[in-house]
Amino acid sequence: MEPDLTVGAASAGSPTPRFARVVVKVGSSLVTDEGRGLDAAAISRWAAQVAALRGAGCQVLLVSSGAIAEGMKRLGWARRPQEVHELQAAAAVGQMGLAQTYETCFRAQGMPTAQVLLTHADLADRARYLNARSTLLTLLHLGVVPVINENDTVVTDEIKFGDNDTLGALVTNLVEADTLVILTDQRGLFDADPRRVPGATLIAEAVAGDPRLEEVAGGAGSAISRGGMLSKVLAAARAARSGACTVIASGREPDVLLRLAHGEAIGTRLTASTPMRSARKQWLADHLQLKGRVVLDAGAAAALRDQGKSLLPIGVIEVRGEFARGDVVACMDEAGAEIARGLVNYSSAEARLIARRPSAEIAQVLGFIEEPELIHRDNLVLL
């Protein structure tokens, strides 16, 4: 018998849903009714579904777009601006109504909410990453539904996530959720753009990270939203790094979250081919901005990829960028593909001096030795 996860189901004795902790990302076009203004009725429907999931023992976090779109509506702007300061202003105006609407709709279901605004800098710094993780897990423990958005009022080109699909994947990895649900205005991922190709077929299931998915994902989103189907495919690949699966589905499907919890096939399901990673490995994998890169010879690349070894200086043939000890750097093979990233034990200047040399010569070259490895395997994650 399928679990009873109908809206309004009593919390006592409700069965467990198919996912235990889920991040639900809702796009701007859904939240703002294609830019016409905040859609309180739609948000109320999602709140009712979240309440049913919560009653069945599932922890839910929301990543919601819509602040900039709502700000544009309130400011009378027809098209999304390009200037960062205008985006920040629109976000500041729209965030007030967005938070208030979520609070009102969820309070009607007896659920408290919390607004959480993040930037990439919050997740790039290890201490702030752990603080964000601790805060979100505490909110879940207290029975609060976190409503998360990018902090667009202070974002710059250097720290922005780029779109809330990416933010949804980062949050999925941050809290070690098993599922990311991306609700959009499309039915899912098709093998061609259904708006241009009438015979396009919905891709019901695939493996996240398959490069063929990027080829069929198309380009940018609407004038209201920032992401497109490509950003959702890339977000699924990022979430899969920690073992989470991603579902891309229409937010206009009736009771879509509850039906997914039943195990019903809706939209496109992108599965992970790797097991769950530890939080530390997820943090390393999730770095969007890297301080530098080191290029490895074939032997070193194979040692990392196939044998789980540490990276030694002798395997490095080139050092790119400027970085300090403790920064996260990418490890590239000679073909230019990133195969791993990790916390480096030496600065870029020091790494250039010891590259192609055995570890026994580090002290002789530098006058000191921090570690025999350039990157220890415990501080390295394969991609």
**β-strands 245-250, 268-271 pairing:** antiparallel
Distance CA 49, CA 43 (A): 10
What pLDDT is recorded for position 16?
A: 46
In the chain the first and final C-alpha atoms are separated, in Å, by: 40
**Of residues 240, 220, 226, the one with CA closest to residue 180:** 240
Distance CA 228, CA 221 (A): 4
**C-alpha distances in Å from residue 47, one per residue of 5, 65, 106:** 13, 15, 5
**Encoded tokens for 111:** 């659920």
Distance CA 170, CA 148 (A): 11
What pLDDT is recorded for position 339?
A: 93
**Of residues 133, 218, 142, the one with CA closest to residue 184:** 218
What pLDDT is recorded for position 165?
A: 92
| DSSP 8-state symbol, 6 | -
Helix intervals (H) in the chain: 28-31, 40-55, 67-75, 84-107, 120-124, 126-141, 164-174, 211-216, 229-240, 256-262, 279-285, 298-307, 348-354, 362-366
> Could you read off the pLDDT tens digit of each residue along the chain, which spans 383 residues?
333 333 333 333 334 457 899 999 998 889 988 878 899 999 999 999 999 999 999 999 999 988 888 888 899 998 888 888 888 898 899 999 999 999 999 999 999 999 999 988 888 777 788 788 889 999 999 999 999 998 877 766 555 676 789 999 999 988 989 999 999 989 999 988 777 888 889 999 999 988 889 888 875 444 444 458 899 999 999 899 888 999 999 999 999 999 999 899 999 999 998 777 776 777 788 877 788 999 999 999 999 999 989 999 999 999 999 998 888 999 999 999 999 999 899 999 999 999 999 999 999 999 999 889 999 888 898 88
**Encoded tokens for 313:** 């200086």
| DSSP 8-state symbol, 358 | -
What pLDDT is recorded for position 156?
A: 64
| DSSP 8-state symbol, 378 | G
Q: Spell out the domains of the chain, with CATH numbers in brackets.
A: 21-282 (3.40.1160.10), 290-382 (2.30.130.10)
Contacts of 70 (CB under 8 A, 6+ apart): 31, 32, 37, 38, 93, 94, 95, 97, 98
| Three-class SS state of 340 | strand
What pLDDT is recorded for position 59?
A: 96
Is residue 2 a contact partner of residue 259, using CB atoms and an 8 Å limit? Answer: no
What pLDDT is recorded for position 160?
A: 67
What pLDDT is recorded for position 242?
A: 84
Is residue 267 a contact partner of residue 291, using CB atoms and an 8 Å limit? Answer: no
What pLDDT is recorded for position 154?
A: 73
Is residue 177 a contact partner of residue 244, using CB atoms and an 8 Å limit? Answer: yes
DSSP codes joined into one string, 123-175: HHSHHHHHHHHHHHHHHHHTT-EEEEEE-TTT--TTT--SSHHHHHHHHHHHT
Burial profile 172-188: b = 16 or more Cβ within 10 angstroms, e = fewer: bbbbbbbbbbbbbbbbb
**Encoded tokens for 213:** 């998915």
**Encoded tokens for 177:** 């959720």
